[in-house]
Amino acid sequence: MMDKWDDLKFVLAVARAGGLSGAARTLGVNHSTVSRRISALEASLGTRLFERLPEGLAATPAGTEAMEAAKRIESEFLALDTRITAQDADLEGPLRITAAQLIFQTGLAEVVARFAERHPGIELTMIAANDIISLQRREADVAVRITDRPDESLFGRLATGQNRMFYASRAFVRAHEEAFSKNADPAKIACVAFKWWGKAPPREIRERFPNAYTSVDCDDMITLHAATRAGLGIGRMPCYLGDPDPALVRVPGFEPSRYFDIWILTHPDLKHVERIRRFMRFTADAFKANAGLYLGSQ
C-alpha cells in the first residue's frame, strides 16, 4: 500500500512537471533520486504509474489515481499549515519572501536587510524566481510582484506605481545625435527587444524612426539592461533601472510611459500573522518612500 506522504509527493511532482528533471528541481533533489523513488514505488505496488515516452512521462490510470490522492492530501496539509501559521502572533520564526531576481538586486534586498536589523528573531529566506511561486501552496509567505492584475485570491498592498522610458548608452546617443535631434528620421536605429513585448522595435520608436530594427532579443530585463549598457541599441526599461545608471541616458524626444505596478502579496489567511503583517507594511512603506525613483520623477 502507498501509505507515505513522501511517496505521493514524488508522484505529484513528476505528474506536474511532466518529467524527472522538472520534478527534481521542484523537490530539491537530483534526477536519479526521483527516478529511483518512482521505480521503487512502482515495484512495491506491482503496477506502472508512468509511461516512459520520448517526450517525457505520462501518467497511467493508476498514476492518475495516485496523483489525485496526492492532491487531496497536499491540500489538507497546506490548509492545516496555513491555519496553524495564522495563529502565530510572535515576531520570530520563518518568513519566506519571493520576488524576481531584478527586484531583489535593485532595492528589495536592502529593504530586507533593514527589516532584519529590526527583527533579528525572524528567520528570513529570499527566493529569487521569475516564475510565479505559489502562495496558495505555501511555497513562500510573501511575494513582491510586478503586475497590474494581482491574483484576486491573495491579500496585498500596492507598493508603488511605475513608469518606463527609452534609454541608450552615452556613446550610442552621441553616435546618433543628429537623428535624435529630429522628430522623425530615416536613420537605421538599433533597438534591444524584450521578447515578452514582441521582437519588433516598440511602436513609438517605429513612428519616429521607420527604419529602426532589432539588434538583439532579450528574455529578461537584467539582460536587456546589460545589452543597452553595452551599446547594442535603444532599450525600454523601468525608470528605476535606467535613471540611476550613469552609463545610460534617456533617449531625447521621448517621455516616460506607464509600466506595471509593484504589489506586496500574501495568502489572505496569513495577513494577520504579525511577522508577515509587519514585513508587508515595512516593505510597502519603503517602496512608497522611493516612489519618485519608480515613477521616473526624481
Round to whole Å and give the CA distance between 110 and 112.
5
Which CA distances in Å does 261 have to 154, 162, 199, 240, 288?
16, 6, 23, 12, 12
Q: Greatest CA separation found in the chain?
A: 76
pLDDT greater at residue 30 or residue 270:
270
- For residue 81 the three cell numbers come to 499549515
Round to whole Å and give the CA distance between 123 and 140.
13
Q: Characterise 150 by phi-psi region: left (phi > 0), alpha (psi -120 to 50), beta (else).
A: beta
Are residues 40 and 52 in contact, defined by beta-carbon separation less than 8 angstroms?
A: no
Please give the model's pTM, rounded to 2 decimal places: 0.70
Q: Report the pLDDT averaged over residues 246-271.
A: 94
Q: Report the pLDDT averaged over residues 22-41.
A: 78
Say whether pLDDT at 192 is over 80. Answer: yes
pLDDT in tens, 42-100: 777 778 888 877 777 788 888 788 778 777 776 666 666 656 655 555 678 899 999 99
pLDDT in tens, 196-218: 888 899 999 999 999 999 999 99
